[in-house]
């Protein structure tokens, strides 16, 4: 295979530079349109009350109406002005309402995110994913979302956005969150449709809703059972082995269940909401956590506080359990740029390879998902740690990608 020349490499690097430049140009152009949308709405405030009633005081349904497009604290605007804006920018009226509402929601209720959007740091499309969720929140909850997401929104995943918004709503009104949780718990059920077996040639549909910890326990048992069946039935697909493992549940009632849930809460938090370290459940109420721990047969283990700044070392190649836990709490996802794979499912990588003199110390360990671990090991990608929660990656073309988890690392109390 012929090697690429330096001229070819320079050309390819130029393509990347041009693509990056055009991306920023497009982002700034969309931010400017977002700002103009807010200005248009401000220039067309909601009609005053007497503008929509006739001389007899009856409501005139066909005149210009005041509409509210964003959450509490954002101004309303003229309904007719929406149509004019939408037509000018090539949107339907429905799309125009959403775009104008998102601009008002961001400017008036998410000021930190607004500032970063105007500077081109955060793309408008991602901001709109946030405003789709925040417009229903009260001002306190919206402000919490703004503080939490503004520093990380440019790089965080959609799952992170959803998690922060839902958690903010719970923190702002924990009693309501607990009430909703209890309402949902009353909907738990498990349906085994034996009467439908004839419709599926003997296969029986199963559906339901389980309590989170019950679902975790069930998943653990099915996963273990499917793996055990691999030796006896290597020819079967994983889905088939999982179904067989489900059918074998309950054979040994003496086997205790094991459920591991990582919950984070600061002792000075006034609310009753705890963060749950999971990509599936963003938070739980104190009452819910108590119920999980009080379930018959559950063993509760309290682990001591782990100092994330401590430099833990071992002479062995394999990291210790404390080193792994410390790395996960410090950087909760794979540290490759823009990867949101949870750290608990990642490999713990030696930043400087052990074979090249890299030691097994806290500073030299970071979680990488299996794919990015392979990329780092078998390609020209390199990275270095710049701080306890900061990294700097260099691509094969020499492009530098900083990654910072300062605002995302796990709380130290568990």
For 257, the token pair is: 């269940």
Higher pLDDT, 106 or 64: 106
- Cα distances from 183 to residues 6, 111, 166, 173, 188, in angstroms, run 65, 34, 17, 16, 10
In this predicted structure, the answer to whether residue 179 has a pLDDT above a threshold of 90 is no
Which pLDDT score is estimated for 53? Answer: 54
The answer to whether the beta carbons of residues 54 and 75 sit under 8 Å apart is no
pLDDT digits (tens, 9 = 90+) for 5-20: 777 878 888 898 899 8
DSSP code string of 52-79? GB-TTS-B-TTS--EE--S-TTS--EEH
The answer to whether the beta carbons of residues 85 and 40 sit under 8 Å apart is yes
Which pLDDT score is estimated for 141? Answer: 87
* Averaged pLDDT for residues 103-119: 96
- Pairwise CA distance, residues 120 & 19, whole Å: 15
Banded pLDDT at 195 (limits 50, 70, 90): confident
The answer to whether the beta carbons of residues 4 and 389 sit under 8 Å apart is no
In this predicted structure, the answer to whether residue 151 has a pLDDT above a threshold of 80 is yes
- Cα distances from 301 to residues 257, 261, 325, 332, 378, in angstroms, run 14, 11, 15, 22, 40
Higher pLDDT, 356 or 258: 356
In this predicted structure, the answer to whether residue 136 has a pLDDT above a threshold of 50 is yes
* Averaged pLDDT for residues 295-317: 78
Which pLDDT score is estimated for 414? Answer: 35
- Cα distances from 268 to residues 256, 272, 275, in angstroms, run 35, 11, 14
Q: What's the distance, Cα to Cα, between the start and end of the chain in Å?
A: 54
**Residue 345 DSSP label:** G
Which pLDDT score is estimated for 305? Answer: 67
* Averaged pLDDT for residues 245-258: 66
Total count of residues recorded for the chain: 414
Which pLDDT score is estimated for 408? Answer: 58
Higher pLDDT, 307 or 264: 307
Q: Is the dihedral of CA 29, 30, 35, 41 positive or negative?
A: positive
pLDDT digits (tens, 9 = 90+) for 405-414: 886 544 433 3
The answer to whether the beta carbons of residues 145 and 134 sit under 8 Å apart is yes
In this predicted structure, the answer to whether residue 306 has a pLDDT above a threshold of 50 is yes
Which pLDDT score is estimated for 55? Answer: 58
* Averaged pLDDT for residues 163-178: 77
Q: With H, G, I as helix, E, B as strand and everything else as coil, classify residue 256.
A: coil
Average pLDDT of the chain to the nearest whole number: 83
Which pLDDT score is estimated for 247? Answer: 82
Q: Which of 50, 39, 118, 117 lies closest to 77, judged by CA? A: 39
pLDDT digits (tens, 9 = 90+) for 375-391: 899 888 999 999 999 99
For 135, the token pair is: 């417009």
For 208, the token pair is: 């339901």
| Residue whose pair of structure tokens reads 């090539």 in the numeric block | 90
Which pLDDT score is estimated for 159? Answer: 77
Which pLDDT score is estimated for 412? Answer: 37
Which pLDDT score is estimated for 265? Answer: 67
* Averaged pLDDT for residues 13-31: 92
* Averaged pLDDT for residues 124-149: 89
Higher pLDDT, 399 or 29: 29
Banded pLDDT at 58 (limits 50, 70, 90): low
* Averaged pLDDT for residues 150-155: 86
What is this structure's pTM? 0.63
Higher pLDDT, 264 or 118: 118
Phi, psi of 211 (to 5 degrees): -60, 145
């Amino acid at each position: 295979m012929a090697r690429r020349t330096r001229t070819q490499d320079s050309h390819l690097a130029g393509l990347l530079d041009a693509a990056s430049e055009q991306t920023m140009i497009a982002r700034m152009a969309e931010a400017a349109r977002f700002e103009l949308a807010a200005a248009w709405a401000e220039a067309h405030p909601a009609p005053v009350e007497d503008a929509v009633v006739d001389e007899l005081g009856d409501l005139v349904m066909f005149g210009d109406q005041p509409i509210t497009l964003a959450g509490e604290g954002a101004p309303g605007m003229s309904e007719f002005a929406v149509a004019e804006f939408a037509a000018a920018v090539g949107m339907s009226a429905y799309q125009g309402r959403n775009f104008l509402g998102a601009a008002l929601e961001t400017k008036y209720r998410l000021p930190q995110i607004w500032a970063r959007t105007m500077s081109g740091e955060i793309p408008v499309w991602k901001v709109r994913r946030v405003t789709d969720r925040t417009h229903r929140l009260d001002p306190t909850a919206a402000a919490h979302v703004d503080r939490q997401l503004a520093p990380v929104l440019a790089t965080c995943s959609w799952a992170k956005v959803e998690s922060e918004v839902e958690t903010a709503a719970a923190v702002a009104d924990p009693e309501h969150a607990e009430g909703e949780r209890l309402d949902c718990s009353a909907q738990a059920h498990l349906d085994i449709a034996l009467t439908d077996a004839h419709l599926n040639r003997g296969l029986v549909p199963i559906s339901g809703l389980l309590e989170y910890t019950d679902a975790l326990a069930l998943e653990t048992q099915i996963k273990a059972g499917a793996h055990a069946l691999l030796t006896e039935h290597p020819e079967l697909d994983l889905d088939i082995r999982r179904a067989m493992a489900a059918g074998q549940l309950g054979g040994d009632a003496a086997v205790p269940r094991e459920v591991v849930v990582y919950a984070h809460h600061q002792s000075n938090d006034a609310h009753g909401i705890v963060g749950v370290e999971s990509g599936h459940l963003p938070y739980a109420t104190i009452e819910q956590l108590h119920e999980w721990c009080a379930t018959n047969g559950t063993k509760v283990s309290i682990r001591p506080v782990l100092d994330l700044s401590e430099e833990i070392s071992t002479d062995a190649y394999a990291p210790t359990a404390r080193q792994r836990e410390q790395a996960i709490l410090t950087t909760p996802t794979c540290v490759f740029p823009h990867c949101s794979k949870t750290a608990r499912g990642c490999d713990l990588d030696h930043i400087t390879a052990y074979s090249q003199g890299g030691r097994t110390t806290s500073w030299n360990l970071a979680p990488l998902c299996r794919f990015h671990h392979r990329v780092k090991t078998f390609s020209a990608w390199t990275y270095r740690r710049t701080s306890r929660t900061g990294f700097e990656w260099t691509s094969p073309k020499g492009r530098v990608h900083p990654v910072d988890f300062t605002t995302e690392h796990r709380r130290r109390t568990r």
